[in-house]
Structure 1
Amino acid sequence: MSDTAATMTGVVLPGNSTVEFQEYAVPEPGHGQVLVRMKASSICGSDIRAIYREHLGKGPEGYQNVIAGHEPCGQVVKAGPGCKRFRPGDRVVIYHISGCGVCDECQHGYMISCRDGSRAAYGWQRDGGHAPYLLAEENTCIRLPDSLSYIDGALCACGFGTAYEALRRMQVSGQDRLLITGMGPVGLAAAMLGRALGASTIIGTDLSDSRLTLATELGLVDVALRADDSALDLVMKMTGGHGCEASIDCSGAAPARLLALQGTRDWGRCAFVGEGGTVSFDVSKYLIHKQITLFGSWVTSLKHMEELVERLDRWGIHPDRTCTVRLPLAEAAKAYELAAGGQTGKVCIVHEE
C-alpha cells in the first residue's frame, strides 16, 4: 500500500505518569480485519486512572504494554480477505473491544462484558489508536457519517457511548430533570445528550470551577453548582424539594455518587458510570425508602453505539465541541499530562493528514 510507511511510532504508557514512544511495523490486515489510518484518538479518564498513573488490575483492566488509546477514529486504507462491509476510503468509528463473538454478551453486542480469554480491548490488550495506523476487526467498525468530524467519532468510541447507554437505560426524556455529578468529559457528554433527549432541566456539579465554566459556556447545563456541602440543598430548592427524576454520576468519587443518589427524586432513576472508588450510604434511607432504581452502566453495546452515531448525524450535534485540547502525536506526553490534571474538557490526539 503506497501511503503507509514500513514502520510507525506508537505511544506506550509505562505506568509512572510518563509517555514513551516506540517503533512498530505497520501491520497487515488478516482475514476479517481492516487497517485504519488514524485521524483522531482521544484520551479517556480510564486511561489516566488505570494505566497512565499506574497499571491496575487484571483481565479487562490488565494493560499489556500495547499501543495506548481506546477511543480511535479514522479512515480505512486496506481491507483484508473476507471483509464484507468496509473498503478503503471508508470513515469509521471503532468499538474499542473485540470479544469472542459467540458468548451471550457478544451476541447482544456487549463485547465490553465478554468474559472469554480472547477478549481484547484496543489500547489495553491489543494495539490502540495512539499511532498512525490501527489494525481493527471489521466487526468492531461503525460507519462515520460525513456530517461528523473524526474527533466527533473518537469521542463516541467510549465517553459519549458510555453516557448514551446510561441515559438510554434510564429512558431520559422531556419528563425529566437531570442531575449530573462530575462535569469532566463524560459529564459534558451526558449533558449534551440529555439535552438532545429532551431533559427539561440539567443541573451539573463539580469541584472544578474551570469545568463548571466550560459546561456553562457551551450551554450544556441550565445550572452549574460547585459540589460542596451546599450542593444538595440547592438541588432540592431548585426542584421544589423533590430532587431530579434522573441523575448520573460521571466522576467515580464517593461524595459525588452520594450526591447523585440523594438528589434523585422518589421513584426516580440514578446511574453510576464513573469508574473506580467506593461509596457508602444508608441503603434504607436513600435507596429502598425512596423507591429509587440504581443502574450500574458500563460503556455501551455495538448496536447502541451505532444508534448513537446515527442520532448525532440526525440531531446535528457535535461531541467535538467538548474537546478543548487537540495535540499532535508528538505531543502525547503533554496531552496525557493535561488530561491527568482534570481541569480541561476532552483531550484528543489529532493525527496528521
Structure 2
Amino acid sequence: MNDLPKTMKALVAYGNGDYRLETAYPVPECGEDDIIIKTEGCGICAGDLKCQHGAAMFWGDEKEAPWVKPPFIPGHEFVGRIVKMGSQVKGFSLGDRITADQIVPCGECRFCKSGRYWMCQPHSIFGFQNTNNGGMAEYVRYPKTSVISRVPEDMPLDQALLIEPYGCSKHAVDRAQIGNEDVVVISGAGTLGLGMITYARMKNPSKLISLDMADNRLEKAKEFGADITINPGREDVVQRILDMTDGYGCDIYIEATGHPSSVVQGLKMIRKLGRFVEFSVFGEPTTVDWSIIGDRKELDLLGSHLSPYCYPFVIENISNGNLKTEGVVSKTFSLEEWETAFDYATGKYGDFKVAITFA
C-alpha cells in the first residue's frame, strides 16, 4: 500500500488545554529514510494526561520554557503496520508489524555516540513535538533514527500495547540491581508498577512487596508475583516494613506513583546503604529532608528514564508468558471517544491501562 490517503483522523494538541479531534488532518509525508505505519492502537500514558491537563513541565511556567511544540499529535505507546517506506529504508517490508522506543535519538550528541541514546540531548519524543507526532492518529511517521522493534504477528494487541510501558518498567528494575536476598518494595501498582512487579519476580528477591491505595491494584500485583501487598491508606506501611526487617528497613525501594508522599514514605522505610530508584513523572514538587540521603543513611539514589535496550527482552517474555499481562489493558476506545478514554485513563474508575484502537 504505497498510495496513502491525503488526510486522516487525528487528535491534535494546538495549545495548553486545546485538544481537538481532526477528521481531515494531513497524513505524514514519507521521506527517503522514513517509514509510515497504519496505527493499530495507542495506549494513554500518565504523561499524556498530565500534558493534556497543562502541567508546567510540558507547557512551561515563569521558571521553565515550554518543552512541547504544538501543534502535535499525542501518544507514544503505539504499534502498527508498515504501509509506506522511503527508498533508503532497508531490512523491512510492507505489512511488517513494528513499534519503536519512545525517544527518537539524534545520533549526533555525546550520549547517542556513546550508546546512551535514551538520554539524547535534543530529546525528541513521539507525541509531544510536531516534528515527531504520536500514535493518536491513523498514520504515524517513523524517522530514520527511530529505534524500531518487530512485533510478533500472533501477539494480541492488548499485549503489544504494553511493550513500551513494560520496557520502562524493566529499565527501572534493572537500575535497582535486585539480588535474591533483597527485600524489595515497589510503590504503585498501576501499569508501570505491575510491569515492575512481574519482571522483579523473575529476579527472585527475598521479599517482593507492592504498595498501592487501590485494593484492585493490589490484587493484580499479588496475581503478578508480589509476596506481600499493603495499602498505605489503611496501614502504617513504614512500621510494617520495619517490623518485618528487624527494624532495618527494605533494601530497595522503587517509586512508581508520582506522588510526593511516596517519596517521603520510601526514604523513611529504606535501610541505611539502601537503593532508592525514582521512576515517576511528578505533577508537583516534592519536599524532603535531604540529609536522610547523605548524612543519615548514605543511600544510592537513582533515576530511571525510558526503556533503553529493553524491547527485545520484553517482546520475547510477553510472548512466552514470563511477563504477565492479563487484564492490564482494561478498556479500549475509538479515537472519536478520546475524551472518555482520557477520563478512564486517570484510573478513577478502577482501570489500569486504557488505549485508543483503530479499526
* TM bin (shorter chain): 0.7 to 0.9
CA separation of 1:207 and 1:348: change in aligned 2, threshold 3 A = same
Greater shift after overlay, 46-55 or 90-99?
A: 46-55
- The structure carrying a bigger helix percent of its residues is 1
Give the structure 2 partner of residue 24 of structure 1. 25
Structure 2 residue 186 is the aligned partner of structure 1 residue 186: no
Give secondary structure in 1 for the equivalent of 2:178. coil
Give the structure 1 partner of residue 37 of structure 2. 36
CA separation of 1:212 and 1:311: change in aligned 2, threshold 3 A = closer
Give the structure 1 partner of residue 354 of structure 2. 347
Structure 2 residue 130 is the aligned partner of structure 1 residue 123: no
Give the structure 1 partner of residue 228 of structure 2. 223
- Paired residues for 1:177-326 under 5 Å: 177-216=183-222, 218-228=223-233, 230-276=236-282, 277-301=284-308, 303-313=309-319, 316-319=322-325, 321-326=327-332
Structure 2 residue 71 is the aligned partner of structure 1 residue 62: no
CA contact (8 A) 1:166 1:273 kept: yes
CA contact (8 A) 2:209 2:227 kept: yes
Separation in 1, partners of 2:270, 2:15:
37
Separation in 2, partners of 1:14, 1:28:
20
Task: Give the share of equivalent positions with the same residue, in percent.
Answer: 26
Separation in 2, partners of 1:89, 1:176:
45
Any gaps of 5 or more consecutive residues in structure 2? Answer: none
CA RMSD for the aligned pairs?
A: 2.6
CA contact (8 A) 1:253 1:278 kept: no
Count, aligned residues: 347
The TM-score with structure 1 as length reference comes to 0.88
Amino acid at match of 1:56: W
CA separation of 1:215 and 1:19: change in aligned 2, threshold 3 A = farther
CA separation of 1:211 and 1:317: change in aligned 2, threshold 3 A = closer
Greater shift after overlay, 148-157 or 343-352?
A: 148-157
Amino acid at match of 1:5: P
Structure 2 residue 17 is the aligned partner of structure 1 residue 11: no
Separation in 1, partners of 2:14, 2:245:
47
Amino acid at match of 2:229: A
1:79 to 85, 91, 100: 85
Cα distance, 1:85 vs. partner? 2.2
Separation in 1, partners of 2:255, 2:82:
35
Separation in 1, partners of 2:295, 2:318:
36
Separation in 2, partners of 1:318, 1:209:
19
Separation in 2, partners of 1:18, 1:209:
35
Separation in 1, partners of 2:231, 2:214:
8
1:62-107 CA distances to partner (integer Å, 9 max, x unpaired)?
Answer: 2422111111111212221111222212221211221221112223
CA contact (8 A) 1:51 1:63 kept: no
Separation in 2, partners of 1:102, 1:60:
23
Cα distance, 1:323 vs. partner? 1.5
CA separation of 1:26 and 1:206: change in aligned 2, threshold 3 A = same
Separation in 2, partners of 1:166, 1:177:
16
Structure 2 residue 149 is the aligned partner of structure 1 residue 142: yes
CA separation of 1:141 and 1:183: change in aligned 2, threshold 3 A = same
CA contact (8 A) 2:42 2:79 kept: yes
Give secondary structure in 2 for the equivalent of 1:66. coil
CA contact (8 A) 1:179 1:246 kept: yes
Separation in 1, partners of 2:116, 2:11:
27
Any gaps of 5 or more consecutive residues in structure 1? Answer: none
CA separation of 1:147 and 1:237: change in aligned 2, threshold 3 A = farther
Give secondary structure in 1 for the equivalent of 2:351. coil
Give secondary structure in 1 for the equivalent of 2:314. helix
1:155 to 162, 167, 176: 162
